[in-house]
Amino acid sequence: MRQHMLNGWLVAALIALVCLLGITAYVEVRKDLPRVACVRDPKAIDKKAARQENGSTACCNTTAVSA
């Protein structure tokens, strides 16, 4: 009986860990997505979505230097 209860807690802890890792990955990707989309295709996203934390605009409103 005790082993069965410990296995249940272990499964619950593993599920909680997977959920926390998934949430962390989602937040990090969501933060970085506007910058990546801006680098790949400046017209892909709205300029408001490409704002950085300090309120200044990211690369979407600057002209790219052609080589």
For range 16-24, the mean pLDDT: 97
In three-state secondary structure terms, 57 is: strand
61 vs 45: CA distance, rounded Å: 12
Check whether 18 has a pLDDT greater than 60: yes
44's tokens? 């892909």
Start-to-end CA distance of the chain, whole Å, equals 70
For range 2-23, the mean pLDDT: 97
Q: Which helix (H) or strand (E) covers residue 25, if one does?
A: helix 2-40
Q: Is the pTM of this model over 0.75?
A: no
33 vs 58: CA distance, rounded Å: 12
